[in-house]
Amino acid sequence: MIPAGFAYHRPADVASAIAVLQEHGDEARVLAGGHSLIPMMKLRMAAPAHLVDLQDIAELRGIEIGADAVTIGAMVTQHDLIAHEGLAEALPIIREAALQIADPQVRYKGTIGGNVANGDPGNDMPGLMQCLDATYTLAGPDGTREVKAREFYEAAYFTAREDDEILTRITIPRPAAGTGWAYEKVKRKIGDYATAAAAVLVGKGTASVAMTNLADTPVWSEAASAALAAGDVEGCVAAMLEAIDPVEDNRGPVAFKKHAAGVVLRRAIARAQSRAG
Amino acid sequence: MSKTHVKLKVNGREVEGLAEPRMLLIHFLREELGITGPHIGCETSHCGACTVDMDGRSVKSCTVFVAQANGAEITTVEGLANPDGSLGVIQEKFREHHGLQCGFCTPGMITRAHRLLQENPNPTEEEVRFGIAGNLCRCTGYQNIVKAIMAAAAELNAAKEAAE
């Protein structure tokens, strides 16, 4: 499988990368880990004339653990997330989720920025970022702006990011001490996207619940979160099943997916509650 | 499409060439350099037969453009042999434990096992299985592959201890 030809750019900073995007408009795509884009290019379902490889841009790297928030550079790989001890202490749910993404080789290349920016409903990080109430920083020709993960996703592969913007950083508020957490996923096999996955945070009188691959965007439910915050597990599950909108595909019919969603969510809640304290 | 100049180190040797940016690393290794250890299996980043080590990370070379690998250091299964050409420890343990049947997945398995043992020199069996989850053996010969990796870990650790 040979992709269509393209011109390759490897800029050293974000400003130069944006300049290439501005010059070539929707003919250009940024390349992070490439494990979503390159397969699409090999299938000729994507054929960008210009590819802007972000690997040399140092400002897109790094994980900073602050007292109130954690920031993660867009080019941090899933492997980096798993290996980072400070992150495992501050936000262990990220390691739990990252370990369930694809396989080791893909995790060495796949980045958190690519995972959240691509808008693929099958990706795990968008739902998790909604659960954590993360904020994305987008850099464009006119400077940077911030968009909440909960407001970023419009439809499958459609997001609030403009063609000439690059998602540069993710900022995640640190949950209060004692907050329980879990990321639970069922998939058919290693490397597959979720049949259903759930991200759950639960603390004293607070909760946040989001699910993955059960609609054309990740689904964070305010009603489900409020129910769980009040200790009402069945109310939480009912509200979430109301919020999701799965479609039939090779992972199963709608009724099965709703069933799986309920099972996965209950498991995630139970594990999160067992870790709260 | 104009070609781009690429320079990389493969199995300790500096190599240079001209390649279209769209050329995949696996094609550059096999067709331009004649390094045919890494195999093209599924060509869709599932099977891991094309696994090589790139700057200390296992990657599927069917899902990396050679332009991305410009400046990188690559190790293939050929580079894991001893300098005299005899089998390296992991290769030898695959032979000893019959860790291959048809052999197609073997270069990827061994290259991946190399990186796994660099990162985790003393893995449990479960960690080995999790660590090679990106490599498929269609003969389903996983039992002996796992045994071979566990045996390689033991031998490498014994050699390290002896050296200390």
% residues pLDDT > 90 (chain A): 99
Query: What pLDDT does A36 receive?
Result: 96
A contact residues 180-239, partner B, Cβ 8 Å cutoff: 190-191
Q: At a CB cut-off of 8 Å and minimum separation 6, what does B162 contact?
A: none
A contact residues 100-159, partner B, Cβ 8 Å cutoff: 102-106, 108-109
Query: What pLDDT does B1 receive?
Result: 62
Distance from CA of B59 to the nearest CA of A (A): 5
Q: Which residue in the set B57, B63, B133 is minimally distant from A35, CB to CB?
A: B63
Query: What pLDDT does A108 receive?
Result: 98
State the fold for domain A58-173: 3.30.465
Ranges of each domain in chain A: 7-53, 58-173, 180-275
* Kind plus residue range of the DSSP H or E element containing A135: strand A135-140
Q: What is the DSSP string of A68-106?
A: SEEEEETT-BHHHHHH-HHHHHH-HHHHHHHTTSS-HHH
Considering the domain delimited by A180-275, tell me its CATH architecture.
2-Layer Sandwich (3.30)
- Structure tokens given for A235: 């109310």
> Helices in chain B by DSSP H: which ranges?
25-27, 89-96, 106-119, 125-131, 142-163
| ipTM reported for the complex, 2 dp | 0.96
Reduced DSSP (H G I as helix, E B as strand, rest coil) percent helix, strand, coil of chain A, to 5: 40, 25, 35
Using the Cβ of B51 and the Cβ atoms of chain A, whether some distance falls under 8 Å is answered with yes
- Structure tokens given for A263: 């099972």
Cα–Cα distance for residue pair A224/A235, rounded to 1 Å: 7
Contact B64 A106 (CB under 8 A): no
Q: Select the residue from B52, B65, B117, B119 to test the A interface by mutation, using most A Cβ atoms within 10 A.
A: B65
Q: Extract the residue ranges of chain A whose pLDDT is less than 50.
A: none
Considering the domain delimited by B4-79, tell me its CATH architecture.
Roll (3.10)
Query: What pLDDT does A277 receive?
Result: 86
* Kind plus residue range of the DSSP H or E element containing A109: helix A104-109
Q: Extract the residue ranges of chain B whose pLDDT is less than 50.
A: none
A108: left (phi over 0), alpha (psi -120 to 50) or beta: alpha
Ranges of each domain in chain B: 4-79, 80-163
- The domain A7-53 is placed in CATH, from the list 3.30.2080.10, 3.30.43.10, 3.40.50.2300, 3.40.50.720, at 3.30.43.10
Cα–Cα distance for residue pair B23/A140, rounded to 1 Å: 30
Q: Select the residue from B1, B6, B22 to test the A interface by mutation, using most A Cβ atoms within 10 A.
A: B22
* CA B10, chain centre distance (Å): 12
The amino acid that residue A50 corresponds to is H
Radius of gyration of chain B (CA): 16
Q: Do the domains spanning B4-79 and B80-163 agree at the CATH topology level?
A: no
Query: What pLDDT does B142 receive?
Result: 97
Q: Enter the CATH code of domain B80-163.
A: 1.10.150.120
Helices B142-163 and B89-96: crossing angle in degrees, nearest 10, is 140
Cα–Cα distance for residue pair A152/A129, rounded to 1 Å: 10
Query: What pLDDT does A1 receive?
Result: 84
Please list the residues that pair with B18 across neighbouring strands: B5
- Structure tokens given for A130: 């909604």
Contact A38 B63 (CB under 8 A): yes
Residues of chain A positioned with their CB less than 8 A from the CB of B65? 8, 34, 38, 51
The count of other CB atoms within 10 Å of the CB of residue A215 is 18
Query: What pLDDT does B25 receive?
Result: 98
Residues of chain B positioned with their CB less than 8 A from the CB of A45? none
Q: Which residue in the set B21, B24, B133 is minimally distant from A8, CB to CB?
A: B21
